[in-house]
Chains A and B, each alone.
Chain A
Amino acid sequence: MKKLLVLGGGTAGTMSANRLAHLLKDWKVTVIDRDDNHRYQPGFLFMPFGTYSPDQITRSRRETLNKRVDLVLGEIDRIDGDSNKVFLVNGTEFDYDYLIIATGVSPRADQTDGLAEGISSNDAVHEFYSYEGSQALAEKLKRFEGGKVVINIVEMPIKCPVAPLEFAFLADDFFKSRGIRDKVTMTYATPLGAAFTQPIAAQAFGATLEEKSISVEPDFMLMEVDNDANEIISFDERRIPFDLLVSIPVNMGQDFLSASGLGNELNLVPVDKFTQLSNKYSNVFALGDANNIPASKAGSVAHFEVDIFIDNFIEHIAGKEMTHRFDGHANCFIETGGGKAMLIDFNYNVEPLPGRYPYPIVGPMSLLKKTRMNHMGKMAFRWVYWNILMPGRQMPVPAHMSLSGKHTEMLDDTKLAKAAL
């Protein structure tokens, strides 16, 4: 009996374990995770504003996994890729024929001077990229009476790169609804040169920030948080004072990956960007946020990636060449406040463009435009996540990005040629 071991029972790990357990009936599929709480991570964005309660974004991993999948709870110590073994901190060892690393990334405030200390002991410093952090921020926002709010991304890449923007838009809304928006100034300090990484979308998001009087401090690389002065200081020595700092800490993969010789400087696993096969071992794949592919770290990427991966994996274990190529496809709803949202759809080669999705003209979603329909799509997604994606059912949208419905005339010749690849 062949053994498939999956490290991490989050988005990518759960989807792939469930789908492979279904396809490979004579295999033993085991998932290892440190706890039994599967969080719907997109919900962390809404927790600070009281939109979701903790139980709406949490399920038991056991109940989310297929009955044929074994779930082991324990802290992973290391992988020995040469002998095909995984060791837990408690000494238990597991051997595998194939290994999927899907241990994601976590916010690491400890990587920045003053940040971890600020989050634990300075009431003015918060984050919402963890379950605990998003709850603490909800409590803080309830009591907040006004002042300087600074949203800062420490370093790219981060999970869900649009979430900090969404947080800014929703916070603007939240302060308005509490009648204190005129007592709040908002600053968005980012290491990027503009509001977002991709030019056409950056323009749309930049305009929305301006409408909401949220000022942007570009090229701001955080050096340290000064918890005495309540200021953030950049490497080029700009200082921004705050009454509330909402930080997006450095996102890193799990330390045991680098300790096992499988991680890069951010503990991300180097893989082939089309198949997610490890550069080092031919029986190890890394899926979702845990790998180093040049795509957004997002649930939608994990979803499209797993769609392609399953077909490749079946070929790979049969000793055949993997014939499917993941294109870096991502699509993300961006809450813009006031019950509306934007939608972006892009891949390795094509930046987000305006247009309609998933079908040309009829949509029903609109790309890069604020609509109620997009907002409804975003809110409906929590149901889709638990009931369609995690059990491994198929979504009625293609895994590869499509150019139809998109305004490709906005691309110049060089970008168009790339888009056609």
Chain B
Amino acid sequence: MPTTVIEGHNISVDDEGFLTEYDQWDPVIASALAVAIGVDLTDEHWKVINFLREDFKVNGATPTLRRVSTAGGIDTKSLFALFPKKPAKKMSYIAGLPKPAGCV
């Protein structure tokens, strides 16, 4: 498993750079990951990221856009505005979670 150094910490990531250890994530790392993909984090972004982290902890899977919209209360249109082009991928990347597996 590859590792990378973010903000001075050794972090385990997969071959696309997604964090593989839930507990290695913290808000500082999230900010660094966001910068890396050109996302400027606002309160709205944090609302999404916090929902993703909480929901993953309970259900063991990264929520899909539909779930963020129905259970998290942030609609898909807004998600596209917050994380342009590829919201599912970008939001899970910043939240330190695997890509949502809605696609099999």
Contacts and interface: CB of A to CB of B under 8 A. Distances in A.
Contacts, number: 45
A295 interface: yes
A157 B102 CA distance: 6
Contacts of B59: 270
A158 to B, nearest CB: 10
Most buried by A among B76, B77, B104: B104
Contacts of B65: 221
Contact of A414 (B15, B70, B101, B103): B15
Contacts of A265: 64, 66-67, 70-71
Given A219-B86, A236-B85, A294 B104 contact: yes
B84 interface: yes
25 contacts: A155-B102, A156-B102, A156-B103, A156-B104, A157-B102, A157-B103, A157-B104, A191-B103, A193-B86, A197-B104, A219-B85, A221-B65, A223-B76, A223-B77, A235-B80, A236-B80, A236-B85, A264-B67, A265-B64, A265-B71, A270-B59, A294-B61, A294-B101, A294-B104, A414-B15
Interface of A: 155-157, 161, 191-193, 197, 219, 221, 223, 235-236, 264-266, 270, 294-296, 412, 414
B18 to A, nearest CB: 13
Given A156-B103, A157-B103, A266-B66, 14 more contacts: A155-B66, A157-B102, A157-B104, A161-B104, A193-B86, A197-B104, A221-B80, A223-B77, A235-B79, A265-B67, A270-B59, A294-B101, A294-B104, A414-B1
B76 A221 contact: yes
Interface residues of B, number: 22
B1 A197 contact: no
Contacts of B80: 221, 235-236
Contacts of A156: 102-104
B76 A296 contact: no
Contact of B76 (A219, A235, A294): A235
Contacts of A266: 66
